[in-house]
């Protein structure tokens, strides 16, 4: 079956993240994103695609900082609260019952309930189609201790990161697979 061209993303499973930013007055903003990806190891770069009308973009234009919060499936239903278009400077985290925690290297808060987070400073932005691709340099990154099963190896089944297909459709409960290279 052929896909309509503007629904191609429905066959690409993507990590759902919540990006936190702050306004010029220091008020936190949080919004879910799934058009996102690592971009470079060295320097460490992360990118995501943002509709230019979003408050997230407005805040990044103002101060260039954001935190990418990786969330587990228990936060799934709250993403719809976070995606609600509240007035500018009305914090979605409060509506979603989530907690702000201080990030280590940037001003926007991280989300205490997230399982991992990347603290980023804006590096490049480019208008691509109807979105802005925002690339940030990762200046700090952390995973909660309970989600490591060995040093540097994520316990995928315990962390249960939430992935997105489209709209209300998500992917959870992934299984790790290891394909060993032939010697
Ligand atoms: C799971 C999920 C993924 C989303 N992914 C994106 C995305 O990649 N890019 C985007 O511009 N909006 C995306 N959205 C929509 C924004 O989160 C939503 O429009 C939000 O209100 C923007 O908030 P802001 O104005 O506070 O930045 C997504 C929404 C959900 C629920």
DSSP-derived secondary structure for 117-140: EEEEEEEEEEEETTEEEEEEEEEE
pLDDT at 124 > cutoff 90: yes
CATH superfamily of 16-171: Electron Transport, Fmn-binding Protein; Chain A (2.30.110.10)
CA of 104 to the centre of ligand 1 (A): 25
What pLDDT was estimated at residue 183? 82
Distance separating alpha carbons of residues 95 and 86, to the nearest angstrom = 10
Q: Where are the alpha helices (DSSP H) in the chain?
A: 55-63, 78-82, 92-95, 156-159
The pLDDT assigned to 3 comes to 87
Read off the pTM. Answer: 0.97
What gap in Å lies between CA 146 and CA 115, rounded to an integer?
9
Token digits of residue 18: 């919540």
Q: Give mean pLDDT, residues 154-174.
A: 96
Residue of 51, 85, 129 best suited for mutating to test ligand 1, as the one with most atoms within 8 Å of CB: 51
Q: What is the structure's pLDDT at 60? A: 98
Per-residue pLDDT band at 152 (split at 50, 70, 90): confident
- 33 alpha carbon – ligand 1 mean position (Å): 5
| Mean model confidence pLDDT for the chain | 96
> Which atom from ligand 1 is nearest to the alpha carbon of 19?
27
79 lines ligand 1 (CB under 6 A): yes
| 120, 128 Cβ separation under 8 angstroms | no
């Amino acid at each position: 079956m052929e896909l309509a061209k503007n629904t191609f993303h429905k066959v690409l499973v993507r990590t759902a993240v919540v990006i936190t930013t702050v306004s010029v007055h220091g008020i936190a903003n949080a919004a879910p994103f799934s058009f996102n990806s690592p971009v470079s190891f060295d320097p460490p770069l992360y990118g995501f695609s943002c509709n230019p009308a979003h408050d997230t973009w407005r805040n990044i234009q103002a101060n260039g900082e954001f935190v990418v919060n990786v969330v587990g499936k228990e936060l799934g239903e709250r993403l719809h609260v976070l995606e609600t278009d509240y007035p500018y400077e009305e914090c979605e985290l409060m509506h979603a019952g989530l907690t702000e925690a201080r990030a280590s290297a940037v001003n926007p808060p991280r989300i205490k309930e997230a399982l991992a987070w990347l603290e980023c400073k804006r590096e490049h932005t480019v208008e691509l189609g109807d979105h802005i691709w925002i690339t940030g340099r990762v200046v700090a990154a952390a995973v909660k201790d309970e989600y490591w099963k060995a040093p540097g190896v994520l316990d995928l089944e315990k962390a249960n990161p939430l992935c997105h297909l489209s709209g209300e459709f998500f992917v959870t409960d992934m299984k790790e697979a290891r394909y060993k290279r032939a010697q």
